[in-house]
Amino acid sequence: MELAGILSNQVIVMFLLLATGMILYKIGMITDEGNRQMAGVVLYVVAPLLILDTYSMEYDAAVTKNMLLGFLLSAISIVLAILISNCLRLGGKKESLPAERFTVIFTNCGFMGIPLADAVFGEIGVVYCTTYLTMFNLFVWTYGLALMRGKKKEKSGLLETLKPFLTPTMLCIVLGLLVYFFQIPLPGQLKSAVRYIASMNTPLAMLVSGVYIAQGDLFGALRRGRVYVVSAVKCLIVPLAMVFVLVALPFDEELKTTILILSACPSAANGMLFANRFGGDAKTASNVFTVTTIASVFCIPLVVLIFGWFGRLL
């Protein structure tokens, strides 16, 4: 109950940051181009440096074991979402189905997951987040790419194949692991600079997400019944299925809760980007992103609360 309360407070704070982003966009203080640039700063600079900063900690055998388990749980979470997303074939339009399934499978683990895990568990939560981010990148650039492309064949070169491993996030995960396992100290001034930049992750990520919502057709999304079906699958069915998986496993509670929070996060902004780039239904992806982001204010604490209830019963 206490954890759900902490999480509820943090989600409300993040929602207020989202609302700030929406307002700033509506009054013209943040433009489309400005938001694109801010999103780039978060994705390619701030979030990767947060990961690097987090790994600058003393070696701990228990944490290392949990990291390995985190990779396993993260893969299970994404595969489970892939399986459940097949239920959307019922009543779905063929042209919208890839975007719907993509938005159910892939979560906003970077923009929303990292800030939540950081707020609830601190640096250890961010460490466990990196395991999910690694699996996310591997799946989104393989299965997610194939899903959105459908039957359209595009020749993939070596660079496209290596793309999941060449993002700043992945490079900082690798660098961070080296720093952690070999206990390489960052110079004092560099560490301070990295920490200052890393501290911007939550406010910047939420402002960007708020602008994404403001750019979409919020009232149009709320009038589409199908969006509620997809959003319910994303925000409730997938994370609740993960609850039943996690409660049965004798793993560290902080690790399990972090993975659950990440699996319960709203749809990834990548859904809109991939749909635009590879010919998917970008409007559907935008609508689901908007509704799931708003719904997550209530759904994430609820899912964690249910997880706690089951945990006490077993």
pLDDT digits (tens, 9 = 90+) for 110-133: 878 888 888 888 889 989 998 998
Residue 54: pLDDT band with limits 50, 70, 90: confident
Nearest to 173 by CA among 86, 285, 48: 48
Report the pLDDT value the prediction gives residue 196, as an integer from 0 to 100: 94
- Please, which residues bridge with residue 107 across strands? 267
**Can you spell out the DSSP letters for 124-178?**
HHHHHHHHHHHHHHHHIIIIIHHHHHTT------HHHHHGGGSSHHHHHHHHHHH
pLDDT band at 252 (very low <50, low <70, confident <90, very high): very high
Letter for the amino acid at 88?
Answer: L
The answer, yes or no, to whether residue 157 has pLDDT greater than 70, is no
pLDDT above 70 as % of the chain: 95
> Would you place residue 19 in the very low, low, confident or very high pLDDT band (cuts 50, 70, 90)?
very high
Rounded to whole angstroms, the Cα distance separating 63 from 69 reads 10
Helix ranges restricted to H, the chain: 2-26, 32-41, 47-54, 61-85, 97-105, 114-121, 123-139, 145-149, 158-162, 168-181, 188-198, 201-215, 218-222, 225-232, 238-247, 253-264, 270-278, 282-313
What distance in Å separates the CA atoms of residue 75 and residue 312, rounded to the nearest whole number? 26
Phi, psi of 150 (to 5 degrees): 65, -130
Per-residue pLDDT at 152:
58
pLDDT at position 1 is 55
Q: What is the DSSP letter of 59?
A: -
